[in-house]
Chain A
Amino acid sequence: MQAFWSSVSFRIALVYGALIVVTLAVISGIFYYGTVVGPANAMDQKLVVSEQRLSRHFLGNGLPALRSEVGQLLADGIDQDTEVYLLLDPAGHKLAGNLDRWPAPADLGFDTLTTEQVLRYGKPSLSRLVWHRLPDGAVLAVGNDTHYQQAVEKLVWRSLLIGGGTALLLAIAGALLFRRQIGRSIGRIRRTAMEIQAGDLSRRIPVGSTRDEFALLSHDINAMLDRIEHLMDGVRHVSNTIAHNLRTPLARIRSRLDEMLRQGTGAGTADAVHSAIQEIDSLTMIFEKLLQIAEAESGARRQSFEVTPLAAVVADVTELYDAMADTCDTRLVSEVRGGPHVLGDKDLLCEALANLVENSIKYAGRSSAISISAAEEDGRMVLTVEDRGPGIPADFLGRVTQRFYRGNTEVPGSGLGLSIVTAIAQLHRGSLQLQSLNPGLRARIVLPRPAGEAANPADSIL
């Protein structure tokens, strides 16, 4: 129910439906009043007037005169099929009138209008009657058979019901149609947004030839995306230009130094040249890593993602580093529980895991064990590297992923490793989580399940 209520289109449809119901009620009320209530009241009025006139006739001319008056009214052919007259003597016997059966006068309320079942000209009739007790005890009744009114009332009710029912069904159908229409339009926008999020900046919202509000919104968003893509292209162009323009001079310097070496120089110069070459190489590496982080953050790599079993990532990285761990007298223990897999890039995932393992080997100290594992936890896929070395002090945990931050400057490193791991984790829509184990560090790369295994969010209920 919560889901329904939070849906805008449902709320609009509900309000729209309520308005229809109210309008219908008002119209029906007016109509009913005009066709049923009004005429009934007018009829009542007429009866009272008629009764009063006959009473005055009695007062003026006596009971026999009234009797013959009643007889005349019944015989005059006016209102023959609806009029009701009844004159009773003080003892309750019928003196004149067209009723054959009537409610006992003792049960009657006088001078009030009631609707009774009576026998009129021998036939049953539901009649509207007013009873009056004349001064000498005689009873006069004036009334009207209501079968016309009943017929009209029945007709009105039936039409209101049918009309109302139809209107309600149309309202519901309209609301559902409205919801579907909105859902489709919004769904189109959301789907395109998801494709763009996944890394394909070239997508645009498909727009038909209509000029409605959604079409205008889509046009605006598409224009915005054009601008963004243009900017991204600019950035990419700059990156590529930087790559070309910075690497080329670096290449030239390196090649000159290389030449010097090969041409043969004194030992001292050779050493200097070697270290200069090393500096250039490490500069190049830093530069590569920065570009890589930028590329990861742009999300463009997502387009070439494939389903990657994490067991392979763990196995490859563990194998690569086992010799190095041996030299530090450290053991690498790997464990894979189940068959965790993600949608991603195997090379990048290996690189991220390798960075974590390298850090542990570098900082965890000798004679220890480093655990490398992959498993599914709470519906997410997790790569974990755990060591029992000195770890990272809790207040520094937030800073270690900053670029160039070095916690321990005695050990060689660029300070970019964890930045790369974070960028790669985020590219895979996951995150890097660091925990101090006191002693030690647990680094976890937490990644979502492959998208195909959950419902497509763009198609959920609006």
Chain B
Amino acid sequence: MQCLVIEDEAQTAAYVRKGLEEHGHRVTLCADGEAGLRLIRDRAWDIIVLDRMLPDDIDGLSLLKALRDGGGQTPVLVLSALGSLDERVRGLRSGGDDYLTKPFALAELLARIEALTRRYQPGAEVRELKVADLSMDLVKRKVTRAGRPVLLQPREFRLLEYLVRHQGQVVTRSMLLEAVWDIHFSPGTNVVDVQISRLRSKVDGGFTPSLLHTIRGVGFMLRDPA
């Protein structure tokens, strides 16, 4: 993937570049809004990682607005030290697709970038999702594994659906809270872990192979290990 990282802070920029390159992505760095706009015009990008606080006149949000006003549809992940919900909403309303506050874990950044780029691949309307011998009927809202029905509550179904749609990708706790429960604060306790455990006991309990994995320090992933 071609990634454009617009970040004026050298250390963060280097950190992000290293992390992305290690994952097989190609990264171009730039440190101010003007250079960023030029690069956006000159080439096509799969993802743009944009810091809100940029030097000189063009700050992150105005660059974002300029991109969107010009018709650009590249997914943009906004980085910022400003973490209040208000600022988050502003960032998303200005045209951002996701918003991550500093300090962040590289794994969180990677997980969200992958989620964003997956979204942009064209595909037909899906009515069924499959992983290994797990099958989800999205219309009837029913799940079966190895032919046997798995009974899930509606919210558990949504949780599983999100994981299956992001199969093979790391999904962080905050991504799940936002996407599945529409919760935008960080609960003090490990509620998500507990929810995942319960789902795991239903989906993996008594079946092989285990599909739902916990990635230490980062989040979760649903994957057919085969």
Contact = CB atoms under 8 A, between A and B. Distances in A.
A291 B86 CA distance: 13
Contacts of B197: 323, 327
A258 B184 CA distance: 25
A347 B183 contact: yes
Interface stretch (A105-113, A188-196, A243-251): A243-251
A252 B102 CA distance: 9
A4 interface: no
Interface of B: 9, 11-12, 15, 18, 22, 53, 81-86, 89, 101-107, 155, 181-191, 194-195, 197-198, 216-217
17 contacts: A240-B82, A244-B81, A248-B9, A248-B12, A251-B103, A259-B15, A262-B22, A304-B89, A319-B155, A323-B194, A350-B185, A351-B185, A355-B188, A358-B189, A361-B189, A413-B188, A414-B188
A320 B187 contact: yes
Given A243-B81, A251-B103, A414-B188, A319 B181 contact: yes
A284 interface: yes
B82 A243 contact: yes
Interface residues of A, number: 48
Given A253-B103, A304-B86, A320-B195, 19 more contacts: A240-B82, A243-B81, A244-B82, A251-B12, A251-B104, A259-B18, A262-B106, A274-B217, A300-B86, A316-B183, A319-B155, A327-B194, A327-B197, A345-B85, A347-B85, A347-B184, A348-B85, A354-B185, A362-B189
A417 to B, nearest CB: 7
Given A250-B103, A258-B105, A320 B86 contact: no
Nearest to B105: A258
Contacts of B103: 247-248, 250-255, 280, 284
Nearest to A417: B188
A97 to B, nearest CB: 107
Contacts of A323: 191, 194-195, 197-198
B84 A292 contact: yes
B188 A326 contact: no
A285 interface: yes
Contacts of A351: 185
Contact of A255 (B15, B53, B84): B15
Contact of A358 (B12, B107, B187): B187
A316 B182 contact: yes
A228 interface: no
Given A258-B106, A324-B194, A247 B187 contact: no
A380 interface: no
A304 B11 CA distance: 36
A149 to B, nearest CB: 86
A81 interface: no
A252 B183 contact: no
A255 B190 CA distance: 23
Nearest to B106: A258
Given A255-B103, A316-B183, A323-B194, A247 B85 contact: no
A354 B104 contact: no
A301 interface: yes
Contact of A243 (B9, B83, B194): B83
Contacts of B194: 323-324, 326-327
Given A320-B187, A347-B85, A350-B183, A251 B217 contact: no
A291 B11 contact: no
A48 B54 CA distance: 111
A414 B187 CA distance: 12
A217 B85 CA distance: 38
A354 B110 CA distance: 29
A285 B101 CA distance: 12
A30 B81 CA distance: 84
A319 B191 CA distance: 10
Interface string A432-444: 0000000000000
A327 B201 CA distance: 12
Contacts of B182: 316
Contact of A247 (B81, B107, B198, B217): B81
Nearest to A304: B86
Contacts of B188: 285, 355, 358, 413-414, 417
A147 B109 CA distance: 111
A324 B191 contact: yes
A354 B81 contact: no
Contact of B217 (A250, A277, A288, A354): A277
Interface in A355-382: 355, 358, 361-362
Contacts of A229: none
Contacts of A291: 83-84
Nearest to B103: A251
Q: Which residue among A251, A261, A291 has the maximum number of chain B CB atoms within 10 Å of its CB?
A: A251
Contacts of A259: 15, 18
A381 B103 CA distance: 38
Contacts of A252: 11-12, 103
Contacts of B217: 261, 274, 277
Contacts of A414: 188
A295 interface: yes
A295 B191 contact: no
B191 A320 contact: yes
Interface string A224-250: 000000000000000010011001101
A51 B216 CA distance: 132
Nearest to A277: B217
A327 B195 CA distance: 10
A348 to B, nearest CB: 8
Nearest to B156: A323
A197 B130 CA distance: 54
A321 interface: yes
Contact of B186 (A253, A262, A285): A285
A350 B184 CA distance: 9
B198 A326 contact: yes
A258 B216 CA distance: 12
Contacts of A240: 81-82
Contact of A320 (B106, B183, B216): B183
